[in-house]
Structure 1
Amino acid sequence: MPEIALQGLWSQLLEDVATTATMNIISYGGKMDEIPESALPFPHRKGTLYKINYNIGWREEENNNPQRYINWIRKLYRYMAPFVSKSPREAYINYRDLDIERNNDDGKTSYKKASVWGRKYFKKNFDRLVYVKSKTDPENFFRHEQSIPPRFH
């Protein structure tokens, strides 16, 4: 990340709405570089210097305008995108990015739709995880906004 990115980042983080925001930079490298992408579901290892986790929170009872916070974090993310990666929308599943699509409200999402986020989280491991999900949870009982669907959903 170049120094100019950090200069612009500080002005973003000092905005009034940012008082409830955090940006965590988690370093990678070392032993993680030795684990092949296909060894575990999480593929983002070799050549990755760090992951950034962006968060903003608010108490609904204290603020009736959550869109203000959502807009701010999206603006920060767009600002950072050119500085952080060739593929800035690839992510770690525990840092869910609901802007890259999500399951249908009834939890029945097609393989094609789930591939949108599934490949960003798991790369080539997505198909193997769909296979395992289809075998172990064919009714899709265990799900969340971006869970892996069974193949037949």
Structure 2
Amino acid sequence: MGEDLFWAIRGGGGGSFGIVLSWKIKLVHVPETVTMFSHHVLGRANELVSLMQNIFPELGLTSKDCNEMSFVESILALGLLPNQNLEILLDRNYRVSFLVATPSFKTKSDYVKKPIPEIGFQGIWSQLFEPEARGATLNFVAYGGKMDEIPESAVAFPHRKGNLYKISYKIRWREEDNVNSERYIAWMRRLYSYMKSFVSKSPREAYVNYRDLDIGKNNEDGYTTYAQMRTWGRKYFKNNFDRLVKIKTKIDPENFFRHEQSISPYFG
């Protein structure tokens, strides 16, 4: 594969360098305490508790931690309808929650390096009460810890030391509201504009897996200049962007693998 290509596909975004057919994973040491979790088990609660006490006694699992249900009740739970009466399965007109029934969406992202002041959150809060924000969610993903110890250039993904957290903005709407989709997208853009003074700058960083075509995209004919591509490439990859372009130019000079925001070869 080559060292450069292996570097690029780890965080360089999908659809730019080829198709990965297999991975070999190097396992890492897992600390004693990791996180909490929920799990679905086919069987009775007492059987699970007995098994876990033999295998993982340190978890201290008891029957109070379990919610035993029938198979059909588990279908409701897995379908995001926990604690509902089974009669709901006979209701052909039942409308699931707004977030489940909203296939249309728009996302954006930001990185925060300094605490957002209280007045900043007041502004966010006021916008979340606007009519278009009914299907909006903001996720704050904490950074730091081990992330700070990894150099920005270790792999193509560069967002490491200095970030407090990443913000994911998402707005969803139903298919019947598609005629008003521009209203929802405009709301998202207003919020993103408002956040400008509270987030990273020069560049205003973004997370490549929350693809945002507002920050730039390739030309449809497959020929995009370096200057054009740099407008969003630096936001996603910071100082790693130039190396990604060099690797792309070497291994895929005809730009066979491409999409709206893929890395393009150097065309000048």
Q: In the superposition, relative to structure 1, how do residues 47 and 116 fare at CA in structure 2: closer, same or farther (>3 Å)?
A: same
Q: Are positions 1:7 and 2:122 aligned together?
A: yes
Q: In the superposition, relative to structure 1, how do residues 83 and 71 fare at CA in structure 2: closer, same or farther (>3 Å)?
A: same
- Choose the corresponding residue for 2:165, options 50, 58, 72: 50
Aligned-pair distance for 1:114? 0.7
Give the alignment's TM-score, normalised by structure 2: 0.53
Aligned-pair distance for 1:78? 1.2
2:241 counterpart SS class: helix
Aligned-pair distance for 1:87? 4.2
Q: How many residue pairs were aligned?
A: 153
Higher relative contact order (CA 8 A, sep 6+): 2
Q: In the superposition, relative to structure 1, how do residues 24 and 149 fare at CA in structure 2: closer, same or farther (>3 Å)?
A: same
Which structure: larger Rg? 2
Which range is displaced more, 93-102 or 71-80?
93-102
Aligned-pair distance for 1:60? 4.0
What per-residue deviation string (whole Å, max 9, x for no partner) do you get for residues 79-130 of structure 1?
1221223347211111223222111122321122111111111111111111
What pairs up with 1:10-25 in 2 under 5 angstroms? 10-25=125-140
Aligned equivalent of 1:107: 222
- Residue type of the alignment partner of 2:148: D
- Residue type of the alignment partner of 2:264: P
Tell me if the contact between 2:152 and 2:160 (Cα under 8 Å) persists in the aligned partners: yes
CA distance in 2, matches of 1:62, 1:17: 11
2:155 counterpart SS class: coil
Give the alignment's TM-score, normalised by structure 1: 0.90
Aligned equivalent of 1:148: 263
1:146 counterpart SS class: coil
Percent of aligned pairs sharing the same letter = 69
Aligned equivalent of 2:89: none
Q: In the superposition, relative to structure 1, how do residues 29 and 120 fare at CA in structure 2: closer, same or farther (>3 Å)?
A: same
What per-residue deviation string (whole Å, max 9, x for no partner) do you get for residues 38-82 of structure 1?
111111111111111111122344330211111100111111221
Gaps of 5+ in 1: none
Query: What value does the CA root-mean-square deviation take over the aligned residues?
Result: 1.7
CA distance in 1, matches of 2:119, 2:249: 47
CA distance in 2, matches of 1:129, 1:79: 31
Structure with the larger helix share: 1
